[in-house]
């Protein structure tokens, strides 16, 4: 009988992870800060063509790119003359399970079946659980989805509860936990007890699955519009969406500006029992986006394959009320009901398009399904129940956890730039902690990780060391 105490399980985490992913992360380590990221990604063993073939076997991918002509027209009314880029969305809600995350799930589940695992486990409160459940149903594997769902009073968010029902409808067993540190421990314990595959969001298999999304955008745009997109906006939480999309674009030799977009939840702690239900967004928000950008290896695998700072050109935030507004605008102007994750990037794109020329193009690279718990009305009703003030006004006055302010006019929607230099220096600070003298290889690695150069890294280290 193994010791199942929290401390004992945590001490065995590397052993558990190695058995549950079939990957020895230690082979990529240098003994210092640097590690072989590209080597880790190559060792999935799947080319982009093979990824696409596997996904087609599950009826995944080849989703439409749709031009939002009415949203674009509205943006142009708010912009200066000659400004207002054409706005497009990639309709990932058309995938089985209703989101782009089924691309991630397909490669992980395929790998699990290939290696002889009987089932998979994933920890997620979001669309990924339904994605894994969907592909497992097609592949004939068992599936366990572990959710952080409730606060200590047993109150759960409508969106998370809906996703639990969706996972169960697709054949998964759902284990629901209250918010707190027990999530990772519980998953490790289940992986050890079941011998199932760890279908983490952050393995190389999951990120390789998203590469097909960026690859498709490039080829579809060239075929349908005879050009490459100027800007691609990615909703950003743990960073896998942006990382995979950017890598896929690069594999198609397509190099638009990559913009990350998150909902501003500044001041709310994601693991706080009292603050858990005071946010109206369970993903694509700064509570995940910022810490995972500056410390990606905080994930549930030894080395996260989601490393957004490598590919991010710009990081913007939008407020909760702005996302609710653009969700309603998309439905009323374009006849499309979509969920909040993709609409986070759409709210940002609506503003960013106004900075761009009319002959330019901006793409929101995902949409997600919507349903009972994801709709605007239940989300706002839940916010009211938790004492959140909801009103029309200037979204700049919104205070996360206290108010949701819907813009009185679409011209009030803003995409607020986050200081990329600060973000990059924060990452470097986290990585050099405990290392007195980073090696030349470390410096090169940090430059790649922050999408800068060695001189920037050396200046940042000097500044941090003062």
Q: What is the CATH number of the domain that holds 317?
A: 3.40.50.1100
344 and 392 part of one domain? yes
Q: Give the residue from 417, 439, 454 where a domain finishes.
A: 417
The answer to whether 242 and 297 are in contact (CB under 8 A) is no
350 and 460 part of one domain? no
Residues shown for the chain: 466
Cα separation, 287 vs 462, whole angstroms: 29
Cα separation, 266 vs 418, whole angstroms: 12
Domain limits for position 75: 55-96+205-417
289 and 226 part of one domain? yes
69 and 213 part of one domain? yes
> For the segment 214-233, what is each residue's pLDDT rounded down to a tens digit?
999 999 999 999 999 999 99
Cα separation, 395 vs 410, whole angstroms: 10
388 and 460 part of one domain? no
- Per-residue confidence (pLDDT) for residue 281, from 0 to 100: 87
The packing angle between helices 320-334 and 376-385, to 10°, is 150
What the block records as the tokens of 15 is: 């052993």
288 and 378 part of one domain? yes
431 and 331 part of one domain? no
- Per-residue confidence (pLDDT) for residue 80, from 0 to 100: 98
321 and 432 part of one domain? no
The answer to the question of residue 143 being in a domain is no
The packing angle between helices 204-225 and 240-251, to 10°, is 50
Half-sphere exposure of 229 (CA within 13 A, CB side): 32
Q: Which residues contact 283 (CB under 8 A, 6 or more apart)?
A: 125, 126, 127, 235, 237, 341
228 and 330 part of one domain? yes
CA-nearest of 233, 253, 257, 255 to 366 is 233
> For the segment 239-285, what is each residue's pLDDT rounded down to a tens digit?
999 999 999 999 999 999 999 999 999 998 877 888 888 888 888 99
Whether the per-residue pLDDT at 103 is higher than 90: the answer is: yes
The answer to the question of residue 440 being in a domain is yes
The answer to the question of residue 33 being in a domain is no
Whether the per-residue pLDDT at 461 is higher than 90: the answer is: yes
What the block records as the tokens of 195 is: 């011998």
Q: Give the residue from 377, 394, 417 where a domain finishes.
A: 417
pTM of the predicted model, to two decimals?
Answer: 0.96
The answer to whether 292 and 306 are in contact (CB under 8 A) is yes
The answer to the question of residue 102 being in a domain is no
Total domains present in the chain? 2
> Long-range pairs for 395-401 at CB < 8 Å and ≥24 separation?
395/319, 395/321, 395/322, 396/319, 398/264, 398/319, 398/320, 398/321, 399/267, 400/264, 400/265, 400/266, 400/267, 400/268, 400/278, 400/279, 400/320, 401/265, 401/267, 401/268, 401/275, 401/278, 401/279
What the block records as the tokens of 172 is: 């998964």
> Which band of pLDDT confidence, cut at 50, 70 and 90, is reported for residue 13?
confident
The answer to whether 405 and 393 are in contact (CB under 8 A) is yes
The answer to whether 307 and 258 are in contact (CB under 8 A) is no
Q: Give the residue from 382, 398, 417 where a domain finishes.
A: 417
The answer to the question of residue 173 being in a domain is no
The answer to the question of residue 408 being in a domain is yes
Q: Which residues contact 347 (CB under 8 A, 6 or more apart)?
A: 261, 318, 322, 323, 325, 326, 413, 415
411 and 429 part of one domain? no
Q: Which residues contact 407 (CB under 8 A, 6 or more apart)?
A: 321, 322, 325, 392, 393, 394, 395, 413
The answer to the question of residue 195 being in a domain is no
305 and 431 part of one domain? no
> For the segment 378-421, what is each residue's pLDDT rounded down to a tens digit?
999 999 999 999 999 999 999 999 999 999 999 999 999 999 99
The answer to the question of residue 396 being in a domain is yes
245 and 278 part of one domain? yes
> For the segment 300-357, what is each residue's pLDDT rounded down to a tens digit?
888 999 999 999 999 999 999 999 999 999 999 999 999 999 999 999 999 999 999 9
Chain position carrying tokens 């919104």 = 398
Whether the per-residue pLDDT at 152 is higher than 90: the answer is: no
């Amino acid at each position: 009988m193994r010791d199942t105490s929290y401390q004992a399980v945590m001490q065995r985490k590397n052993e558990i992870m190695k058995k549950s992913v079939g990957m020895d992360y230690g082979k990529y380590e240098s003994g210092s800060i640097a590690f072989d990221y590209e080597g880790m990604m190559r060792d999935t063993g799947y080319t982009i063509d093979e990824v696409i073939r596997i996904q087609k076997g599950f009826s995944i991918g080849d989703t439409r790119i749709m031009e939002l002509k009415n949203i674009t027209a509205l943006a142009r009314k708010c912009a200066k003359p000659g400004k207002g880029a054409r706005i497009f969305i990639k309709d990932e809600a058309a995938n089985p399970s209703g989101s782009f995350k089924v691309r991630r799930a397909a490669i992980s589940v395929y790998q699990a079946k290939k290696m002889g695992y009987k089932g998979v486990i994933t920890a997620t409160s979001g669309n990924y659980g339904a994605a894994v459940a969907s592909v497992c149903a097609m592949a004939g594997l068992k599936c366990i989805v572990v959710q952080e769902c409730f606060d200590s009073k047993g109150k759960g968010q409508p969106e998370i509860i809906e996703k639990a029902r969706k996972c169960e409808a697709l054949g998964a067993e759902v284990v629901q936990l209250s918010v707190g540190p027990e999530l990772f421990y519980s998953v490790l314990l289940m992986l050890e007890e079941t011998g199932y595959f760890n279908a983490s969001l952050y393995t190389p298999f999951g990120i390789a699955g998203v590469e097909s999304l960026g690859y498709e955008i490039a080829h579809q745009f060239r075929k349908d519009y005879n050009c490459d997109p100027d800007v691609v906006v990615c909703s950003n939480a743990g960073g896998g969406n942006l990382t995979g999309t950017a890598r896929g674009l690069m594999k198609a030799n397509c190099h638009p500006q990559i913009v990350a977009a998150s909902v501003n939840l500044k001041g709310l702690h994601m693991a706080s029992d009292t603050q858990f239900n005071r946010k109206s967004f369970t993903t694509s928000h700064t509570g995940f986006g910022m810490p995972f950008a500056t410390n990606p290896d905080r994930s549930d695998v030894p080395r996260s394959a989601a490393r957004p700072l490598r590919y991010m050109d710009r990081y913007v935030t939008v407020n909760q009320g702005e996302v609710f507004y653009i969700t309603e605008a998309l439905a009323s102007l374009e006849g499309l009901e979509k969920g909040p994750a993709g609409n986070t990037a759409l709210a940002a794109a609506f503003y960013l398009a106004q900075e761009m020329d009319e002959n330019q193009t901006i793409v929101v690279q995902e949409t997600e399904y919507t349903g009972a718990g994801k709709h605007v009305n239940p989300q706002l009703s839940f916010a009211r129940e938790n004492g959140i003030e909801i009103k029309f006004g200037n979204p700049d006055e919104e205070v996360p956890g206290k108010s949701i302010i819907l813009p009185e006019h679409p011209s009030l929607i803003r995409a607020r730039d986050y200081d990329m230099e600060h973000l990059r220096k924060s990452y470097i600070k986290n990585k050099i902690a405990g290392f007195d003298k980073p090696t030349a290889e470390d410096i090169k690695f940090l430059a790649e990780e922050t999408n800068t150069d060695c001189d920037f890294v050396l200046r940042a280290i000097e500044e941090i060391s003062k």
